[in-house]
């Protein structure tokens, strides 16, 4: 399909030069293509814009009226096109990045100052929530998702892995004893996450294939990792959370992990998600590269 802006450019230049061939030369297209653009423009408008002869072109009355419109609009349209095209090269404008709440607060927000120092023309709109957002409908450029990816229409870049860890406060382990088997967790007060892929409030999954299931119960469940960590530090119960959620508390001695006879279930990775675009804007490209570099090869939450 022939684009309207080029059709307007062909018409405007032909009107000023009196020649389709001259207009074609100025636009670096063939005379035949210039003719096709003009024919398509006249077809859309439903009127003749030129009286055509073998020797010259002359404007019709509708053509004179349309030329006035082109003279007014074309500079603005060409300026907008140039601005959009420059964004493919220069990182500039508003970048909307969405992340899960706990992950974004702990590991993405602290990086924004370094990103801004490298790319001062980009304004970052950082959205923090634990629901899966729709990039198209909600206008996000990028989102970070934790766990298995389900939407094959989107493009992903792996940021990092994060092991699942069973942990509790030292005082809780002292009072209740440490489990040795994954099945032992049924006898503990297990604090439940309602958003995890592997630790639902009433069932925790273990094993490489998530084939070991233990029914759990507890006196608290929530959809926020920070709230769970705070409750566990206070001695309320046991957590089964990603390493990035509990790493600081373990490092500071507020929580202690236990090793069970069955491996923790795979979280499914942490991925950066964006729309399929053969030529993403520069602001999107630089943020992708920045975040991949920030979390590789060693993520900041790695305990060992």
Over residues 257-264, mean pLDDT = 92
Confidence of residue 181 (pLDDT cuts 50, 70, 90): very high
Contact status, residue 195 vs residue 274, Cβ threshold 8 Å: no
Confidence of residue 135 (pLDDT cuts 50, 70, 90): confident
CATH of the domain spanning 93-161+268-295: 3.40.190.10
Q: Is 199 helix (H, G, I), strand (E, B) or coil?
A: strand
Q: pTM surpassing 0.75?
A: no
**What is the rounded end-to-end Cα distance, in angstroms, of the chain?**
57
Q: Is 280 helix (H, G, I), strand (E, B) or coil?
A: coil
Region(s) of the chain under CATH 1.10.10.10: 4-87
What pLDDT is stored for residue 1 in this prediction?
A: 52
Class of 164-258 in CATH: alpha beta
What is the average pLDDT value for the chain, to the nearest integer? 88
How many residues appear in the chain? 304
Over residues 165-193, mean pLDDT = 95
What pLDDT is stored for residue 73 in this prediction?
A: 85
Region(s) of the chain under CATH 3.40.190.10: 93-161+268-295, 164-258
Q: Is 85 helix (H, G, I), strand (E, B) or coil?
A: helix
Alpha-carbon distance 171 to 288, whole Å? Answer: 42
Q: When comparing pLDDT for 240 and 197, which is higher?
A: 240
Q: Residue 97 pLDDT more than 70?
A: yes
Does the domain made of 4-87 have the CATH classification 3.40.50.150? no
Confidence of residue 84 (pLDDT cuts 50, 70, 90): low
What pLDDT is stored for residue 116 in this prediction?
A: 95
């Amino acid at each position: 399909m022939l684009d309207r802006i080029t059709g307007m450019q062909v018409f405007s230049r032909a009107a000023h030069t009196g020649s389709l061939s001259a207009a074609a030369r100025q636009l670096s297209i063939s005379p035949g293509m210039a003719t096709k653009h003009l024919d398509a423009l006249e077809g859309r408008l439903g009127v003749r814009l030129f009286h055509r002869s073998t020797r010259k072109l002359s404007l019709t009355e509708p053509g004179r009226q349309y030329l006035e419109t082109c003279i007014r609009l074309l500079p603005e349209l060409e300026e907008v096109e140039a601005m959009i095209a420059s964004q493919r090269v220069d990182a500039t404008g508003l970048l909307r990045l969405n992340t899960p709440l706990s992950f974004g607060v702990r590991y993405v927000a602290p990086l924004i100052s370094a990103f801004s120092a490298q790319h001062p023309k980009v304004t970052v709109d950082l959205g923090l929530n634990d629901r899966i957002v729709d990039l198209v409908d909600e206008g996000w450029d990028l989102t970070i998702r934790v766990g298995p990816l389900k939407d094959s229409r989107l493009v992903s870049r792996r940021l990092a892995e994060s092991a699942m860890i069973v942990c509790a406060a030292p005082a809780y382990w002292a009072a209740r004893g440490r489990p040795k088997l994954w099945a032992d967790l049924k006898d503990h007060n297990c604090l439940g996450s309602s958003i995890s892929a592997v630790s639902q409030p009433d069932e925790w999954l273990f094993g490489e294939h998530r084939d070991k299931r233990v029914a759990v119960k507890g006196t608290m469940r929530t959809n926020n990792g920070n709230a769970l960590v705070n409750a566990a530090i206070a001695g309320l119960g046991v957590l089964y959370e990603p390493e990035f959620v509990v790493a600081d508390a373990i490092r500071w001695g507020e929580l202690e992990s236990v090793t069970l006879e069955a491996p923790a279930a795979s979280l499914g990775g942490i991925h950066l998600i964006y729309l399929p675009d053969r030529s993403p804007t520069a602001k999107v490209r630089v943020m992708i590269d920045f975040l991949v570099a920030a979390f590789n090869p060693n993520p900041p939450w790695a305990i060992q």
